Structure formats: structure tokens, C-alpha cells
A = this chain, B = another copy of it.
Amino acid sequence: MALIVQKYGGTSVKDADRIKAVARRVVKTHEQGNEVVAVVSAMAGETDRLIKLAQQVSPSPNQRELDAMLTTGEQVSVALLAIAIEALGHQAKSFLAHQVQIVTDSAFSRARILKINKEKIFDYVRERKIAVVAGFQGIDEEGNLTTLGRGGSDTTAVALAAALNASVCEIYTDVDGVYTTDPRICSRARKLGKISYDEMLELASMGAKVLHIRSVAFAKKYHVPLCVRSSFTDEAGTWVVDVEDIMEKTPVTGVVHNPKEALLALSDMPQEQSITTEIFKALATSRILVDMIVQSPTPKTSLEISFTVPLGDFEQAKNVISPIVKKYGGKMSIDTEVSKVAVIGTGLRDDPQMAARIFETLSDEGIPILAVSTSEIKIVCLIPAKYSELAVRALHEDFERDKLLPEDVRNNNK
């Protein structure tokens, strides 16, 4: 008998029929002799509906109150799932953050879990009953309701799995696993049997929405085996595990892209470190995430620096930077038509030829590279956005042909 945490996202519980289907899956797992804790998101669209309602009342709603409102989405879906499970003849009970005691800090809208009182849930599932826990929500030390930010239900599930020492944390979603690349772009994309936490983190940071980045970091820290699966099929999904648990290591695990980037290039300013500091401090104060910073080597007479920001933050970044550039008599050029293409793989660190190979493949397709950044397990190229999908396809095809991508390990589950 194992204790299994199952997390169901918004599309999995978007209406009464889907909720009943989730109930059947939970009950099936339970009837196989497992103890089950289900973690549920709000019904798809509900969070957006509530935010819109708040904005009709005030353009900048108070964060504490907004969080109190948003937690109702999960409160409704846990109750509905408990009702649906009972209708199948099993005992179930919904647990809200203040009932479990999922204690967070007081950073409304992006709270972090500080501790979970596992006893109540433990006692409940040990009586062979099914616990249904609200994702996304917490309670701070003063009893205020908090939320963990978008995708926070994944984090609730992983944190619960860690606290309860669960055998596995299954993340049910509307895709059936993690792919070597986007199947909508490349028909030869294959579902991965396993992926390491680090690789999954890199994928999430590139904008892959399959898992909330904080939940992956949490799972890595506490060695919680994750399994990403579809709530609409019975197919095996993708396991996210410690790198040691992956037998067959290939250089490349996946090719991903993020076309929602903007490039800002600053030039003709005095070559002073203090100016660079001023720029990035200003961006940090505005909470703008900066990436792919390229600074020309210092021997040059003037400061030349470029970096990317998410396209959504671009206008704000421009407003923050403009006065500084002006003050030092510099120039700013902007390109909103850029895309990041990334090759990710734990094997990259062992193969010094990979970077050259990537550049060659892109070059063969006539794709200019605007900037490059690398980490231990990732090589990212910034390219003109119009080449984004072509680049993904070319790289994926190249790795696939030479068997650099992992074999389909669909039946290779733990």
C-alpha cells in the first residue's frame, strides 16, 4: 500500500462531468489499495472571472482581499470533488488551507509555504478515507488567506507529498506528459519516459506550462518523484526524478523555444560599472526578469550591453531604462521580434561539441544568432522570431537522426 498525492488542474475539473471523471480516477487508485490525497485547482476560467470582478470594483484591488476572493475557486472545486467521490460510495472530505494548516508567509498573491500540519490528513487517510485538499491557497500566521501564485496548486501537491512522505506525486493535466519538443511544431516529437528535476526546471523557465517552476524546485529539494499525466487517458506519463534515477543518459532531452521575448541593446555610454549597476537595479526594483545579458569586453571605449526581457514587461522596461540612457547620453535599440531557442539535456555538460553542432545546424538553415547563453545543462540561442519554429524543427530533426535524443521510454516507468 502506498500513499499517493494526485493533483488535478483546472481543465481536469472544469465542469460537473470532468469532476465525476476525476472522482472515478481517485476512487480507482483508492480501490487498488492506495491511500489517496487529491489536490485540486479551481475550475478552469474561475480565477480569471474573479480577477475581472475585482478589477471592476477597483483597478488595483487590495492584495489581501484579492487572495481571499481567489481562494474561493479551489474551495468550490474541492467540495464538488468530495461530493462526487461520496456519490461513488466512498468517504471523502474537503480540506481548506486553514483546516489542514498550510501555513505560508504573508506575501499575498505569491506566498511561500512555511509549514504543513500533516497530522489531520494523515489521520484521515489512515481511516481508509479520501482527503481532498485545496491547492493554491495558504493561511499566514495571523489567519489571513494567501495564494501561492499562478500554478501554485502544483506546489501545494508537492509540498503535501513531501510532508506526507508520499510514494509519488501525480500531476494530472491536459497533456499526457513532457515531450522532446512541441508536438504542434514538430511531428516527430516524442513523449519522455523520464526527465531530471534540473532539466524540468530549465524547461519551466523557458515557459513550458506543464509544471509550475517552484513545484519542481520543491520536488527536487525533497526528492519527491513527480509523474505528469493526462487526466483524460490511462497512458503512462512522464516521470520527473533525480538524475541518478535515469539509467539511459542522452546528450539532449528536449528542444524548446519561447518567442515571447524582447531584446534591448544599449550603447555609447561611458564605460563605467556603476552605470551597469544602476540599470539592473532599476529593472530589479520594477521586478522585471532580465535574461541573456551580453556585455562587450571592457577594453572597448564605450559601454555596450544588451539583454532580453519577457515581451509582456518590455514597455515597462523601456520606461525604466530610458531616463538612465538619456542621462549618460547613450542610445537604446529595441527588438521585440526575437525568440529564444533552447537545447536542454543533462548530457550537454559531458559533450563539448554540442554548442558547435547547434550553431552549425542553425547556420545551415540561414538563421542568424543574436546572442547565446549557456548553463551546465542548457544552451540558449536568441534568434529572429520568424525563424523560431524552423529552428526548433531543425535542431530536433538533427538530434533525432543521430540518436542524441532519448529513446521512447514510455514503458520504462519506475
Contact = CB atoms under 8 A, between A and B. Distances in A.
B54 A83 contact: yes
Interface string A74-115: 011011101110110000011010110000000000000000
Given A75-B75, A87-B58, A96 B68 contact: yes
Nearest to A67: B79
Contact of A98 (B16, B83, B87, B143): B143
Interface residues of A, number: 37
Given A19-B57, A54-B80, A80-B53, A62 B75 contact: no
A49 to B, nearest CB: 10
Nearest to A75: B72
A166 interface: no
Nearest to A55: B16
Interface string A189-233: 000000000000000000000000000000000000000000000
A45 interface: no
Contact of A87 (B57, B72, B79, B144): B57
Contacts of A32: none
B65 A94 contact: yes
Given A62-B86, A75-B69, A80 B98 contact: no
A260 interface: no
B75 A94 contact: no
A98 B144 CA distance: 10
A125 interface: no
A262 interface: no
A47 to B, nearest CB: 12
B57 A80 contact: yes
A312 interface: no
A26 interface: no
A61 interface: yes
Given A20-B57, A57-B87, A69-B79, 7 more contacts: A15-B56, A58-B84, A62-B82, A65-B79, A65-B82, A68-B75, A68-B96
7 contacts: A16-B53, A16-B57, A58-B84, A65-B94, A66-B83, A68-B96, A72-B76
Interface of A: 15-16, 19-20, 50, 53-54, 56-58, 61-62, 64-66, 68-69, 71-72, 75-76, 78-80, 82-84, 86-87, 93-94, 96, 98-99, 143-145
